[in-house]
Amino acid sequence: MKLNRLTAVAAAAALALTGLVATTAPAQAAAAKPALVIDYGHHKVKVKPKAIYPYKDLYFTGIHWTSLTSTTGYATATQNVNTCIPSCADANYKRTKVKLKFTKVKLSDCRRVFSRVTVTQVKSKKVATHTLPVFAKKGC
């Protein structure tokens, strides 16, 4: 009789654990990783883009993602900055290898996006922080 009771308790524990795993796994899978606002003009949102265009005179290309979580993202890229020499219309861009750290997750068009990027130049180690565009949409 003790063996049957132990077997029943073990079976109930196994079912409870299976139920816990089954209910937590979809919840974890549903937790979407943040995306990025990649185009200041059209506010398209994409996860792990190869290029982002947060401003008309500053953009990042050749992005290689090294880490992406629900709160931060790390990547290497080429920063392209319009020097505006002799004028901004001449589109003289300076290209620099940089490391990117994306932070400050906010809602944009009802999706989680990064709203800040910290840019570290590889050679000079200069650091700059930029706010990324976030587009609010009511009803989220």
Cβ-based neighbour number of residue 30 at 10 Å: 7
Which residues in the chain land under pLDDT 50? 1-30
Q: Rounded to an integer, what distance in angstroms lies between the CA atom of residue 87 and that of residue 54?
A: 20
104-123 pLDDT per residue, tens: 998 887 888 899 999 999 99
Prediction pTM value: 0.72
DSSP string, 91-131: --EEEEEEEEEEEEEEEETTEEEEEEEEEEETTT--EEEEE
Biggest CA pair distance of the chain: 92
Phi, psi of 26 (to 5 degrees): -65, -35
Half-sphere exposure of 65 (CA within 13 A, CB side): 14
27-40 pLDDT per residue, tens: 444 456 777 877 77
**Predicted pLDDT of residue 32:** 62
- Coil, helix or strand for 134? coil
Per DSSP, what are the bridge partners of residue 129? 118
